[in-house]
Amino acid sequence: MDSKAGDLFSADDAHPTGTGGAGIMAKLWLPKGFSVSMAKEWIDRRRVSIRPWASFVDQRKFSKPRNFGDMCQRVVKNVETYNSNYTFIFLGLILYCIISSPMLLIALAVFAGAFYIIHLKSLESKLVVLGKELTVPHQMSLAGAVSLPVFWLAGAGAAVFWVLGATLFVIGSHAAFRELEGSDMEELLMEPV
């Protein structure tokens, strides 16, 4: 495709004012050091390195570790091997938590809407409060502070700890009880002590 008009992720010349770049994503304001191309590249790397889900959940490959040392070896090697799978499990649990809690979904929408409105208003003119000009980071901080009670009412703290706990349980259980592949076992046995 010669034209970038149809590319959603064209952010080559993305700028907070919305100039440059033809895609929708190029019009969004992103923090310094972060770009849509970086995010897309990270997701693509994760997607490429994901292990087949059938072998990931193959029940014949699970067993009780012989001892604590064996369990530690399994955890280290399985986290290296299934890192991308674990990342997608974590993202899935976050998505489940957000979708299953309508109040949290509303709180996130309010939060994102506040940031978007601040972004649009900062493009038009500077915000002046009590004779002082508020910079965009100050405006964002203010929006975050105003959103905190909404997140508290929505139970965001409990949701965060639920997601972390569920992720640690699922990933920890899988990594501890999933047997190592044959090539991983040989590599571990040949390492000098």
Residue 162 · residue 90 · CB < 8 Å = no
pLDDT at 134: 78
Cα distance between residue 37 and residue 15, in whole Å: 14
**Tell me, what's the pLDDT at 24?**
44
User: Residue 127: its pLDDT value, please?
Assistant: 74
| Phi and psi, residue 29, nearest 5° | -85, 130
Which pTM value belongs to this model? 0.65
Angle between helices 68-81 and 182-190 (to 10 degrees): 120
Per the listing, tokens 């090697």 go with 77
Which residues have a Cβ under 8 Å from the Cβ of 97 and sit 6 or more positions away? 104, 159, 162, 163
Q: Residue with structure tokens 């703290």? A: 157
pLDDT for the residue 5: 41
Per-residue pLDDT tens, the chain, 193 aa: give them: 444 443 333 444 444 444 444 444 444 555 556 677 887 887 788 888 788 888 888 888 899 999 998 999 999 999 988 888 998 999 999 999 888 888 888 888 888 888 888 778 777 777 777 778 878 788 878 888 878 888 888 888 888 899 999 999 999 999 999 988 765 555 555 455 5
Burial (Cβ within 10 Å: 0-12, 13-18, ≥19) of residue 26? buried
